[in-house]
Amino acid sequence: MDTFLHNQVLGVPPTLPSTTAAAPLLRIGSLPAAAVLPLTAALLVTVPVFLQAPWVRSAPMAAALFTIPLVAIALLLERHGRGQWQELGVLLVGFSGSWLGGCLFWGWCRLHPALHLPVEAFALPLAVAGLGGRWRLAGAFYLGSLLGTATTDGVIAAAGLMDLWPQVLNAPLTEAPLLLQSAALRVLQPWPLTLVSLAASLLVGIGLRLWRRGGPWRVGAAALATTLGVDALFLAASLLAPQLSGLI
């Protein structure tokens, strides 16, 4: 009635939304549309910690094959979804690449840290190529996650801790937590701690610049920031409760 009176009688559109139109605006206002995809990207970065790591440890082939339905769902959403559902499908394509890389490494190459980054970066050419087309969200997510992984591996190598990686993973379950805690304590030494602080500052700066660029780059910024947060959580768990780290 309000809309009818304004349009037909007064000849101008209503200045206030009707009750039915106000509801979706309120729902969007509670969670801005621009924040949905970055938050989803952040949640997807945490999936490997709570789901992929234990799954790969117990059934690496099943975890790797899960990439097939994951990609299928992503493509269905991208092809037939509307609005943010379609964008979510594109984002899941990027996550599928990160998922498969993680399964391949932690399932079959986990004792060879030098292979970590090359295996995780298997889809790098596709991600870079995707930035120029409709797969920008997928590429931004994959590259943001990969940059965080590369920085972590670089800091571990520069701090002289890479040799402890296979020792921790190859140790008996009764000894692995103590070895992991010992490795984490070495991070608190002056040189490793300086490296960690510089790397974290660099990643925060890059993440802020990506966020300011807007668009799909905010997904990359969210993935990068969450990777940094997960690394910090892993370090804290290694120091305080290494048996709960999820990687041994």
DSSP letter assigned to residue 49: I
Is 95 inside a domain boundary? yes
Structure tokens given for 121: 């970066």
Q: How much is the pLDDT for 242?
A: 84
Task: Please identify every stretch of the chain with a pLDDT value under 70, giving residue numbers as ranges.
Answer: 1-31, 245-248
Max CA-CA distance within the chain?
Answer: 82
Strand segments (E) across 53-212: none
Q: pLDDT tens digit string along 94-138? A: 999 999 999 999 999 999 999 999 999 999 999 999 998 999 999
Is the dihedral angle over the CA atoms 224, 28, 49, 118 positive or is it negative? Answer: negative
Q: How much is the pLDDT for 47?
A: 84
- Residue 112's domain comprises 2-26+38-244
Is 33 inside a domain boundary? no
Is 240 inside a domain boundary? yes
This prediction has a pTM of 0.84
Number of domains in the chain: 1
* Cα(243)–Cα(225) distance, integer angstroms: 25
Is 50 inside a domain boundary? yes
End-to-end CA distance of the chain: 65
Structure tokens given for 203: 């990643």
Q: How much is the pLDDT for 23?
A: 34
Is 32 inside a domain boundary? no
* Number of CB atoms found within 10 A of residue 88's CB: 19
Is 7 inside a domain boundary? yes
* Cα(222)–Cα(218) distance, integer angstroms: 6
Is 121 inside a domain boundary? yes
Q: How much is the pLDDT for 30?
A: 55
